[in-house]
Copies of this chain bind each other. A is one copy, B any other.
Amino acid sequence: MNFASDNWAGATPEVMASLQRHNGGFAPAYGGDALTAAVKQRFSAIFERDVEVFFTGTGTACNALSMAAVARPGGLIICSADAHLRNDEYGASEFFTGGMKPVTVPCRLGKIAAADLEATLARYPAGNRTGRSVVLSLTEATEAGTLYSVNEIAALAGIAHAAGLVVHMDGARFANAVAGLGVRPADLTWKAGIDLMSFGGTKNGCWAAEAIVVFEPGRWPDLDILKSRAGHTFSKARFVAAQFEAYLGNDHWLQSARHANGMARRLADQLTQGGRARLAWQAEANEVFPVLPKATVARLRAAGAMFHPWPVDEVEVGSDEELVRLVLSWATTEAEIDRFVGLL
């Protein structure tokens, strides 16, 4: 009963098989191999346009290098108050950009509202001494397991573009968003105004496979050197490409995400059936946030269930209750969920 995080699982059998399949023989190092080239092409197919792809091993690398690519001295990174990039990466983006400052927009259930974005941008007009707004980073799926619709993304990107910002998407759980919304990847990204993104593979079934996707190839010509200078160019680069080959082939990435999302729905449904628990908000991707009595939490933990507390200002919780986060992944089984719910 492991619901701690989707990065506690290993790699899918398909991903492991691809690693094994591509292990033999020799291939040029540092991404000069044919497999890397082929898999990069696959991204263009998925996004229905030519895209430029840079592989790394971590989401933090993708986020921070994306910020470095678009950085300007004394600039501001506009992001949600929940953003992983600001809150969970030890200042990586600040470091890689030479000291850009994250400025947070208030969010509700992980999502930024258009009016709040406008208000934040208005606080930092051109020429102000705090810094100029350089980039908006949106997280999809959000840290709260909620989803921006295509229209919501487009509205926020439009506001940002009008103010001269670049728009980045942190897609650590992009597969869960695409699966949850049932949209085409192109619609949720460049057609909605996303300029570059961190495309995650790790949480959804790879070992260590992430990619920066630039939707206008060549727009940030220093990205390749930024990546190498950061030590994020693997010598045996095909090991990332091999993961992505399996991940992106045969809709494996979407099937994995659909499984995880489906497990979340199953869990949410069972939790709310018969009033076993109330949900702090509705699950839209692969995370479920119930409010549970503390006694129940203790009993679940004693029985081996793994999950994290998730206090959130906007949700009122009784003194004998706790808001927790349950994350489902490609590796979650129905049996685990049933056992968990059975303990309630």
Report whether B9 and A92 are in contact in the complex, using a CB–CB cutoff of 8 Å: no
Q: Mark A55-74, 1 if CB is under 8 A from B, else 0.
A: 01111111111001000111
Using known A-B contacts A4-B28, A228-B60, A231-B232, determine if residue A90 contacts B208 with beta carbons closer than 8 Å: no
Contact with A73, one of B56, B100, B229 (Cβ below 8 angstroms)? B229
Q: Would you call A207 an interface residue if the criterion is a C-beta within 8 Å of the partner chain's C-beta atoms?
A: yes
Q: How far is the CB of A161 from chain B (nearest CB, A)?
A: 19
Query: Is chain A's binding surface mostly helix, strand, loop or mixed?
Result: loop
Residue of B at shortest CB range from A5?
A: B29
A10 and B64 CA atoms in complex are apart in Å by 29
Q: Does A95 contact B (CB under 8 A)?
A: yes
Residue from the list B29, B89, B228 in contact with A7, Cβ < 8 A: B29
- Whether B60 and A331, one on each chain, are in contact in the complex, defined by CB atoms closer than 8 angstroms, is no
How many residues does chain A have at the interface if contact means C-beta atoms less than 8 Å apart?
Answer: 75
Nearest Cβ on chain B to A73's Cβ, whole angstroms:
5
Contact B22 A10 (CB under 8 A): yes
Chain B contacts for A231, CB-based, 8 A: 56-65, 89, 92, 230, 232
Of B58, B88, B97, the contact of A232 (CB 8 Å cutoff): B58
C-beta contact mask, A6-29 vs B, less than 8 Å → 1, else 0?
011111000010011011111111
Instruction: Give A201-229 interface residues, CB cut-off 8 Å to B.
Output: 202-203, 207-208, 222, 225-226, 228-229
A101 close to chain B: CB less than 8 A = yes
A29: contacting residue among B8, B29, B74, CB under 8 A: B8
By a beta-carbon cutoff of 8 Å, the part of chain A in contact with chain B is 2, 4-5, 7-11, 16, 19-20, 22-29, 56-65, 68, 72-75, 86-102, 129-132, 202-203, 207-208, 222, 225-226, 228-236, 238-239, 306, 331
Q: List 27 A-B contacts (CB under 8 A).
A: A2-B26, A4-B29, A5-B235, A7-B235, A10-B26, A16-B23, A56-B231, A58-B234, A59-B231, A60-B233, A61-B232, A62-B231, A73-B90, A73-B225, A74-B225, A89-B129, A90-B129, A92-B231, A94-B99, A94-B100, A95-B98, A95-B99, A97-B99, A203-B235, A208-B239, A230-B230, A230-B231
